[in-house]
Structure 1
Amino acid sequence: MRRLLSKISKNSRSPEDGIFFEKIYKILGFKPSDLKFYKNAFTHRSTNKTDEKGNPFNYERLEFLGDSMLGSVIAAHLYNEVPTGDEGYLTKMRSKIVSREHLNELGRDLRLIDLVESKVNPQHFGENIHGNIFEALIGAIYLDKGFLFCEKFIQNRVIKPYVDIPKLEGKVISYKSLIIEWCQKEKKTFQFETFEDNGTEEQKYFGVKLHIDQKVIARARATSKKKAEEKASQRAYFALQAQIEKK
Structure 2
Amino acid sequence: MNFIRNILKNSRSFDDGNFFLKLKDILGFKPRSQNLYIKAFTHRSMNIKDKKGNPINYERLEFVGDAMISSVIAAYLYEQVPHGDEGYLTKMRSKVVSREHLNELGKELNLIDLVQSRIPKSNFGNNIHGNLFEALVGAIYLDRGYKDCEKFLYNRVINPHVDIETLEGKVISYKSLLIEWCQKEKNTFDYDVYEDTGNDELKHFSVKLSINNKVVSKARATSKKKAEEKASKRAFFAFQKQITKHI
* Alpha-carbon distance in 2 for matches of 1:15, 1:191: 52
* Alpha-carbon distance in 2 for matches of 1:205, 1:124: 18
* Alpha-carbon distance in 2 for matches of 1:17, 1:137: 20
Percent identity among equivalent residues? 68
* Alpha-carbon distance in 2 for matches of 1:154, 1:123: 28
* Alpha-carbon distance in 2 for matches of 1:183, 1:195: 22
Deviations 1:185-208 (A, max 9, x none): 111111111112222222221111
Does residue 194 in structure 1 map to residue 193 in structure 2? yes
Deviations 1:140-165 (A, max 9, x none): 00111111110000000000000000
Contact 2:58 2:135 in 1 (8 A): yes
Q: Report which stretch shifted further, 135-144 or 193-202.
A: 193-202
Alignment of 1:51-66 (within 5 A): 51-66=50-65
Alignment of 1:1-247 (within 5 A): 16=15, 18-246=17-245
Contact 2:205 2:221 in 1 (8 A): yes
Q: Report which stretch shifted further, 14-23 or 40-49.
A: 14-23
Q: Report which stretch shifted further, 110-119 or 196-205.
A: 196-205
Deviations 1:74-94 (A, max 9, x none): 000001111111111111100
In the alignment, which residue of structure 1 is the partner of 2:3? none
In structure 2, relative to structure 1, the CA distance for the partners of 1:88 and 1:15 (3 Å cut) is: closer
- Please report the TM-score for the alignment, with normalisation by the length of structure 2: 0.92
* Alpha-carbon distance in 1 for matches of 2:134, 2:182: 34
- Secondary structure of 2:190's counterpart equals strand
In structure 2, relative to structure 1, the CA distance for the partners of 1:143 and 1:216 (3 Å cut) is: same
Deviations 1:79-137 (A, max 9, x none): 11111111111111000000000000000000101111111121221211111110000
Q: Where do 5+ consecutive residues of structure 2 fail to align?
A: 1-12
Deviations 1:9-44 (A, max 9, x none): xxxxx9715221101001111111111101111111
* Alpha-carbon distance in 2 for matches of 1:133, 1:172: 24
Opposite residue 106 of structure 1, the aligned amino acid is: L
- Secondary structure of 2:17's counterpart equals helix
**What's the offset of the Cα at 1:246?**
2.4
Opposite residue 210 of structure 1, the aligned amino acid is: L
Deviations 1:50-95 (A, max 9, x none): 1121111111100000000010000000011111111111111000
Number of aligned pairs? 234
Q: Report which stretch shifted further, 16-25 or 228-237.
A: 16-25
- Secondary structure of 1:68's counterpart equals helix
* Alpha-carbon distance in 1 for matches of 2:151, 2:245: 41
> Which runs of structure 1 show a deviation greater than 3 angstroms over 4 or more consecutive aligned residues?
none
Over aligned residue pairs, what C-alpha RMSD do you find?
Answer: 1.3
Contact 2:14 2:20 in 1 (8 A): no
**What's the offset of the Cα at 1:223?**
1.2
- Please report the TM-score for the alignment, with normalisation by the length of structure 1: 0.92
Deviations 1:201-225 (A, max 9, x none): 2222111111111111100111111
Contact 2:48 2:55 in 1 (8 A): yes
Deviations 1:212-243 (A, max 9, x none): 11111100111111111111000000011121
